[in-house]
Structure 1
Amino acid sequence: MPTPTPPATESNNKQKVRSAEVGTDILKALAELSPSTSLSRLAEHVQMPASKVHRYLQALIASGFAEQNPATNHYGLGREALRVGLAALGSLDVLKLAALPLSELRDELNQTCFLAVWGNRGATVVQVEAAVRAVTVVTQVGSVLPLLGSSTGLVFGAYLPARETLDLMHAEGKASQELQATFAAIRENGLHHVHGLLLPGVDALSAPVFDALGRISAVLTVVGPTSMFHADEHGPAAQRLLAASQAVSWRLGYQPSGT
């Protein structure tokens, strides 16, 4: 009578999980070292012996998740990795990903916070979390903000390709060296503040949200009456706003250069 095959042991299961984790680490490293890398550099990056990395690479190549350039012998991500990555990008929704950080930002600051995306008419408000108090700034979903007359618009102007803002720039009649200096300062600081630019007595702070390709995807803005909110780029509200915008960018797959 044949001996029955024993069930998989806990040890075997742990080994399989560990193997999957190693394979995932190597895939992540291939993405971080893209478009291609040598075996030695990859092994150093993941801190594993080259022989071990090579074994995993062969399995990844067989499944289409990695590929090797025959001319250089360097490795890179394969077609299956691209397909999975594109599917993941397609499932990301900045409105959904920003919902919780936006409400948390409102709760912490008790100021009106909103999310804007770039539409066919310019910076368009798509999500609002209003301050919980008697005196607040009313911002409506669907509102289109001026490119050069709002902190939100100026942040979009600083990061969007010039061709996308050219018509609005001409319509609002402003194109100067001073404006370019403002855009450069926004890119350097990562946010922008205004005092009464759009509405007298209203301050605003805005910060960009980036997607996985490094493009501006949306802008997070905090607004409030000057008597209760001071838009200081170096203040605690600015730091909290930056943390929220960076958290949403991270969820969208953004990886800042140099990290």
Structure 2
Amino acid sequence: MIKKAKNFALYFVAVLTGSLSLTLPSHAFEGQWVELPNAKARLLATGDPMTGSILAGLEIELDEDWKTYWRFPGDSGIPPSFDWSDAQNVASTQLLFPAPQRFTDEYGQSVGYKHRVVFPIEIELEGAGQPTNLQLDIVLGICREVCIPVTEHFSLKLPPIFVATEAAKTILTAATDTVPMKAVEAQQSEIKITERAGTTPIVTISVPSKLLIKDVFIEGPDTWFLSLPEKLPANDTEQLDIWQLPLDGTPIGKEPWGAAMRLTMVGTDGSFEQEFTLIEPE
């Protein structure tokens, strides 16, 4: 009788422990590294699939002196392309871009990342608490003197609950922290458009010096090919940092006014994004 009671107690503890493990929230999962030309990359994931959403990331480590590109690559380069069409239990994805840096060489100016970058990806699941198969096809430009277009496939299977790894959680949290925030009123720049006789209009961006902004980038519609803003000499009396951008690269024969634009300000203490509309000067 005592032996049966003991066995029942052990069975009850085992069942209870198993039930508790099934209800614990999931945290993170790491994929295997995939070798690329002059780089390597892998998928990461974190979060609790029971909530219906997770945070994934593509981590890329680049060889010395090689770089890859931001969504707006500048004068040359290939912006990254992410295709999730073969993924299972994925309803939608939102690719986030960490704050980039500007590179200048004999071929012009480009915008992107060296050494290492992690692109966070916000994922909404079709079914909460269901197995998820992250299938990702990417196209990247990995460049030094020459640019190598890289096409690669990544796969990461996630059970409804997966084992936590603090390393992946830390990596994705840090990557998300480097994504520019939406600028509130106190962080916004003043943007003016000046027409010049016989040539293209010029955009002037006045950034509050207190934001400690190192660089700025302006994006327009996908069909535009804008150059990069240039910083003017400092004028400490105004407590503003000034950048200017001629509106070259807009479609020929079409007025740019009314176009939706995005300003990205990359700073030492934080980076910000600000949307604006090109308004024709009076």
Structure-1-length-normalised TM-score: 0.27
Structure with higher RCO (Cα < 8 A, 6+ apart): 2
- Select the structure that is richer in helix: 1
